[in-house]
Amino acid sequence: MSIIKIVEDVPQGSSVVILATAASDFEKCGLSVEEISYVKESIDAKLEHIAINKTGKWIFVQTANTKNDAAKETENMRREAYKLHETVTQQKIRSLTVVDRIGNSGLTCAFAEGMALSNYQFLKYFSKKEEKQNSLSELMIAGDVEQTEIDALNVVIEAVYKARNLVNEPAVVINPTSLAAEFVTMGKDAGFYAQVIDKNGIEALKMGGILSVNRGSNEAPTFSILEWKPADAKNERPIVLTGKGLTFDTGGHNLKTGDYMTDMKFDMAGGAVVASVVQAVAKARLPLHVVALIPSTDNSISANAISPGDVITISDGTTVEVANTDAEGRLILADALVYAKKYNPELVINVATLTGSALRAVGDKGIAGMSNAPRETTDMLKKCGETVHERIVEFPLWDEYGEELKSNVADLKNIGGENAGMATAGKFLEHFTSYPFIHLDIAGIAFAKDADDYRGKGGTGTGVRLLFEFLKSYKTLN
């Protein structure tokens, strides 16, 4: 859904959401004197939602608290938009114009963003899509909002939609080959370079992590390289994003039990996120050199699948004892992190649905993060997380976690002890780095079983807005 800026009067037939405070001017909002009086009385009574039906055209008034912390109030606007979207759908409203009467473009954009993200649906496999389709098809903003702000908002909304679509596709559709093909199509559309390395190329690169996890599969692995390198790039060395592209995870011989396997199509969410971020960066024409590396396979069981106790060799020569075949994501990412060294990057950010312990530690409210990057870089990323409400809880990369990864038969083993699994996983990944490194474990927040806010049900696209906001801000560090 694209948001349109209008400079003329609200289009005839469009319903309206007026963002207002008690001091707002309600003239030229399509309200009568009596209605303006009613609205002001309702605001004084601290009502958050005010609705007036004018013969089929709805006028909603959404109050804002401009004295709140900015990040808190922008998130409140997104969530209020989600609540109003339910009414919009029930009333079969097709066109909606957000009118700014508070003079705050950030809050206005946040409300429109919440409405657009709430309107997302994945209906591809319903035979009667039209019966389930949301009515809202046109979303506009009227007020003192710059076109550049709306352009950036549209770019990121489109990228979140793309990440959600990829995650919501079943594994029978999204396998390593078709996922890589999607990245190529995205590159052609957005104007970034996309290269796919096939199994022969992966073997030539001796990417033992990817090849070992792939051994049980009937689908060939892929390794995708996405690059946006504009002539006016401000960074001499690239920022590299790595993303886990595990298209389905059975757990291998350490088979997932109960219903833990049910939604494992979303184990490629990290790959979908970083690819969608590159799409957003390219469409926004950010002056940054950005690379995304996405190793992809599934983790299946067959007579050829790796077994607990096997020893594999990563592309840098590190030997790894596979103590648990369900800790496979870090094995394929190890090869990607080794490959990232070719770029001599300023920074590498890894995004992955990596551990159940991240979910247990943070729940579905945030991201488990670990970093050895400069403090100002890490703090900026965390601040961006607060801004877009994709918050990061930082955990340490203490050397003691590395002690838990020592093996009796190889250089490393792929799991640590029973506790702090997200930290030992991060420490495992750090072994393969030689550059500033941030790891984001999105296992708890990448997929929602139920919709309780604008993130929706199914793939949430969490990480796209965070990283795009960070990359927009990154040049201020240099």
Pairing of strands 290-299, 392-394: unpaired
Q: Is 51 helix (H, G, I), strand (E, B) or coil?
A: strand
Q: Output b/e per residue, 404-413; b: 16+ Cβ within 10 A.
A: bbeeeebbbb
Given the residues 330, 391, 427, 465, the one annotated as active site: 330
Given the residues 256, 285, 341, 472, the one annotated as active site: 256
CB atoms within 10 A of CB 92: 10
Q: Cα separation of 79 and 193, whole Å?
A: 36
User: What is the full DSSP assignment across 340-382?
Assistant: HGGG--SEEEEEE---HHHHHHHTTSSEEEEE-S-HHHHHHHH
Q: What residues are paired with 99 via a beta bridge?
A: 18, 142
Nearest CA among 293, 324, 315, 342 for reference residue 210: 315
What tokens appear for 46 in the block? 């601290």
Q: Is 304 helix (H, G, I), strand (E, B) or coil?
A: coil
3-state SS string for 58-126: EEEEEECCCCCCHHHHHHHHHHHHHHHHHHHHHCCCCEEEEEECCCCHHHHHHHHHHHHHHCCCCCCCC
CA distance readout (Å), 467 to 160, 179, 278, 382, 432: 11, 21, 10, 10, 22
Q: Is 341 exposed, middle or buried (0-12, 13-18, 19+ CB in 10 A)?
A: middle
- Annotated active-site residue 382? The verdict is no
What tokens appear for 242 in the block? 């790595």
- Annotated active-site residue 256? The verdict is yes
Q: Cα separation of 331 and 319, whole Å?
A: 11
Packing angle of the helix pair 176-190, 147-168 (nearest 10 deg): 160
Q: φ and ψ at 240, to 5 degrees?
A: -110, 130
Q: φ and ψ at 23, to 5 degrees?
A: -90, 0
Q: Cα separation of 338 and 410, whole Å?
A: 18
Q: Cα separation of 83 and 93, whole Å?
A: 14
Nearest CA among 294, 279, 274 for reference residue 195: 294
Q: Is 124 exposed, middle or buried (0-12, 13-18, 19+ CB in 10 A)?
A: exposed
User: What is the full DSSP assignment across 215-264?
Assistant: TT-SSPPEEEEEEE--TT-S-SS-EEEEE-EEEEE--TTS---TTTTTTG
Residues catalogued as catalytic: 256, 330
